[in-house]
Amino acid sequence: MLRGTPGYMAPELFSSIIIEKVDVYSFGVVVLEILCGRKNLDRSLPEEEMHLVGLFTRKGEEGELLDMVNKYNADLQLHGAEVVEMMKLALRCLQYEVITRGELQ
C-alpha cells in the first residue's frame, strides 16, 4: 500500500519502487518551501504556479530561480550566496531520475 503526502512523494513511488532516495526528494521539496516561503501545492494560485516543484523547474530552465526566493524573509535576502547554494541543493534533490539524485548522509 502506497502512503505519503501528495507533492512530497518522489515520482518513482508511483511505480512502487521504494529506496532511500525517495526521502532525498521529499527533503528537496521542504528546502524549496523554506526558500520560497510557500507550500508545495497552493490551489489559490494560477495553475501554472500551483505546483512549486514544477514552477522551480521552469524558472531554472529560464535562469530565473532567484525570482522565487521569499522576498519577505530578511535573512534570505541578506545571504544571497547561501540561498543560491541551497537552491542548487534542492535542484539536486528534486531530480526526476533517481540515479542523478543526491544522497542524504
Rg (CA), the chain: 14
Task: Indicate whether 14 pLDDT > 60.
Answer: no
- Within a domain: 56: yes
Is 103 domain-assigned?
A: no
Position 75 in a domain: yes
Is position 7 within any domain?
no
| Residue 58's CATH number | 1.10.510.10
Angle at 34 between CA 30 and CA 38, to 5 degrees: 95
* Domain annotation covers residue 69: yes
21-43: per-residue pLDDT in tens?
788 888 999 999 999 999 999 99
Give the chain's domain count: 1
Query: Are 88 and 66 within 8 A, CB to CB?
Result: no
What is the pTM assigned to this prediction?
Answer: 0.80
**What is the residue range of 59's domain?**
14-95
Has residue 31 been placed in a domain? Answer: yes
* Euclidean distance between CA atoms 105 and 103, whole angstroms: 6
**What is the helix (H) or strand (E) element at residue 61, kind and residue range?**
helix 52-61
CA torsion, points 46, 52, 53, 56, in degrees to nearest 10?
90
